[in-house]
Structure 1
């Protein structure tokens, strides 16, 4: 399997910077431990720093709203993962999910940039950061119906369909 960024993506975002970490042999079981503690610290720090903040104009959020608008997504409907995390931390709704998710959510909050993760064993073929043709299969975790991306939407896709929609909005 390869992880690819297509020309269609670079044409829209030529100055984008992308970071990637591949972790193998991760034990993502257990509810307690250091990742949960790191997340709790990040939530507390974020909530204090964000008190009374206007999220739409926040320096970590506004560029994502602009990026989403560039590919036709309404930023108030499709919120970037960092905006959703910051809003959840601000309101006290963010909770522990699993050690790995807690770890990357704590990094996202601490550095105010979106981080995400995929189980590479579940990827069919190559993983591509690209723009949707439209109609790629996509079903969010726990959903009972398909919600395919719109043509031109920035997605992560594999050979089976969209893995993550609207850049970093929602995962399958």
Structure 2
């Protein structure tokens, strides 16, 4: 049995955060025949509504994440992944098509302004923890060969082998990243703004619906993790 577990050390810093988690199985990441051709293009346009003001840090969604990142140790320049997506959309340099899985979850992330991580479930080793690093834990980012080390006090996702996401939701590990051959996935999507609970649930439902409509996959285990419900079993 494998679980995603949100540790006490995280809740001590962020007691009100909620995290939507779910899994998708038997995905064909080569078949985009039912994915709308304009899915990502439309999502990039919709995303602009979240960042109308300049500078980008003045917009509530971005400001909330900037404020959160001041509460723990981060690598210089680290920003939450959703800020990077929204910034690209705002500057008319939106993300392009990558593969069916990524396109679907990026479309939801852009339209609802929540970070979404998708990890190859079959590459995860043991349990996944959202926790606070002791420092020195290893991490190999997507697209790079150089191994990094977490900072003491940095919020990270890790499994039993090493870190799978640095600075909470900044960069993902190359080891567990979804690829064209990925079949099974673990998703997690964080909400740090209590007043956006309805948006968060809508985003989770949109991800579930799009996996069904565009990829022919039924997701039946959408779960909201909180301080009172900190664990989710993602594999027996």
**TM-score by structure 2 length?**
0.67
Greater length-normalized contact order (CA 8 Å, ≥ 6 residues apart): 2
Q: Distance in 2 between matches of 1:47 and 1:115?
A: 18
Deviation string for 1:87-142 (max 9, x for gaps)? 11122141112111111111111111111111111101111111111111101112
So what's the TM-score if we normalise by structure 1?
0.90
1:117 is aligned to: 118
CA contact (8 A) 1:86 1:109 kept: yes
Secondary structure, aligned partner of 1:142: coil
CA distance in 1, matches of 2:38, 2:156: 31
SS at match of 2:60: coil
Task: Quote the Cα distance in structure 1 between the aligned partners of 2:153 and 2:36.
Answer: 36
| Larger proportion of strand | 2
Please, which runs of 5 or more residues in structure 2 have no aligned partner?
A: 174-236
Q: Residues 166 and 172 of structure 2 are in contact (CA less than 8 Å); yes or no, is this contact kept in structure 1?
A: yes
Q: Aligned pairs, how many?
A: 171
**Misfit runs of 4+, over 3 Å:** 30-33, 47-53
Query: What is the correspondence of 1:84-123 to structure 2 with a 5 Å cutoff?
Result: 84-91=84-91, 92-123=93-124
- Give unpaired runs (5+ residues) of structure 1: none
Question: Paired residue for 1:7?
Answer: 8
Counterpart position of 1:83 = 83
Q: What RMSD over aligned residues (CA atoms) do the two structures have, in Å?
A: 1.9
Shift of 1:53: 3.6
For 1:171, the equivalent position in structure 2 comes to 172
CA contact (8 A) 1:35 1:100 kept: no
The answer for the alignment partner of 1:160 in structure 2 is 161
1:7 positional shift: 0.7
